Amino acid sequence: MNLFQLRAFDAVAREGSFTRAAARLFISQPAVTGHIKALEEHYQITLLRRTARRVELTEEGVKLAAITRAMFSLSEEAQALLEANRQLLSGRLEVAADGPHLVMPLLARLRARYPGITVNLRLGNAQETLAALLSEHADVAVLTEVEPRKGLHLHGLGESRICALVPADHPWLARPEGVLLEQLDQVIMVLREPNSTTRRTFDQACALAQVNPRVLLELDSREAVTEAVAAQLGVGVVSSVEVSPDPRVRALPIIGEGLLNRHWLGCMERRRELRLIQAFFELAAE
């Protein structure tokens, strides 16, 4: 079955004219005539009656026109869907992030610029977020302290500082410029699990400075650390981009070496030219 022939027939059936059908298909009138003649000859059927004034469908032509109208209407719907996605009028973006604080402003910009785009956001730790991106379960990912690797495209989002999280009445707050890393030696602390990026950066800085805090409680979420500090179970550690506006606790910069984290927006290199992914990176660069 020749789809070019069927499309020519469908255009004539819709327009009632070879001339208008040719204009609809952006081909010449003889080409339309030739396609339909070949269709009729191949199947030994008469689909159209040509008169001096108009083109009429035969009984068989009416039946075929009902089929081709449905066929090419679906094709036109598919084209409209794809075109809308290309113009970012619609579409779906799978986003992964190792925390909500950096990704939410990006999603707000995306919603303001392209309100028809649907986003699915998955939050996890650093390892889970990177795994989602590398396995292509996520189109883009917001990552912390990721190592460059072949096939991974990264765009820098900035840096954050490791801070000490203390109760709102803690005496260290008299020194708002921050707390020295050495002051945390033998201090009772409540920290995230060891594979947390913030915890890993803090541990490395402590090892470098030969500081040994007393970690008496390990927790699996930022919210749990905040609650533990508010309950005065110990001093916590938090990234400067993750400080929540909780009146029960305060964050103080920790002064020392190796206490910065770098944040990235990443995608797979081979997919970076996809229009929606490209648009997300453009928003991040603004």
pLDDT tens, residue by residue, 154-186: 999 999 999 999 999 999 988 878 899 999 999
pLDDT tier for residue 83 given thresholds of 50, 70 and 90: confident
List, in sequence order, every residue forming a beta bridge with 230; answer none if it has no partner.
none
pLDDT at 263: 95
- Quote the pTM value: 0.68
- The answer on pLDDT for 42 being more than 80 is yes
**CATH numbers and ranges of domains, the chain:** 3-86 (1.10.10.10), 91-155+268-285 (3.40.190.10), 158-261 (3.40.190.290)
| Average pLDDT of the segment spanning 115-140 | 91
| Average pLDDT of the segment spanning 257-270 | 94
pLDDT tier for residue 28 given thresholds of 50, 70 and 90: very high
| Average pLDDT of the segment spanning 82-110 | 87
Structure tokens at 207: 């090892």
Q: Which residues contact 98 (CB under 8 A, 6 or more apart)?
A: 123, 124, 125, 126, 128, 129, 142, 143, 144, 197
User: What is the chain written as a DSSP string?
Assistant: --HHHHHHHHHHHHHSSHHHHHHHHTS-HHHHHHHHHHHHHHHT---EEE-SS-EEE-HHHHHHHHHHHHHHHHHHHHHHHHHHHHTTSSEEEEEEES-HHHHHHHHHHHHHH-TTEEEEEEE--HHHHHHHHHTTS-SEEEEESPPP-TTEEEEEEEEEEEEEEEETT-GGGG-TT-EEGGGGTT-EEEEE-TTSHHHHHHHHHHHHHT---EEEEEESSHHHHHHHHHTTS-BEEEEGGG----TTEEEEEEESTT-EEEEEEEEEGGGTTSHHHHHHHHHHH-
pLDDT at 53: 75
- Say how far apart CA 37 and CA 39 lie, in whole Å: 5
Give the pLDDT confidence of 212-250 residue by residue, as tens digits.
999 999 998 888 999 999 999 999 999 998 887 889 999
- Say how far apart CA 139 and CA 274 lie, in whole Å: 10
- The answer on pLDDT for 81 being more than 80 is no
For residues 278 and 174, the answer to whether their CB atoms sit within 8 Å is no
pLDDT at 127: 87
pLDDT at 39: 92
| Average pLDDT of the segment spanning 205-216 | 94
Phi-psi region for residue 225, left (φ > 0), alpha (ψ -120 to 50) or beta? alpha
Place of tokens 């402590």: 206
pLDDT at 175: 83
Average of per-residue pLDDT values in the chain: 91
For residues 170 and 164, the answer to whether their CB atoms sit within 8 Å is no
| Average pLDDT of the segment spanning 3-26 | 90
Which range has the worst mean pLDDT, 57-61, 74-78, 162-166?
Answer: 74-78
- The answer on pLDDT for 126 being more than 90 is no
pLDDT at 193: 87
Give the pLDDT confidence of 184-205 residue by residue, as tens digits.
999 999 998 888 888 999 999 9
| Average pLDDT of the segment spanning 276-281 | 92
pLDDT at 86: 73
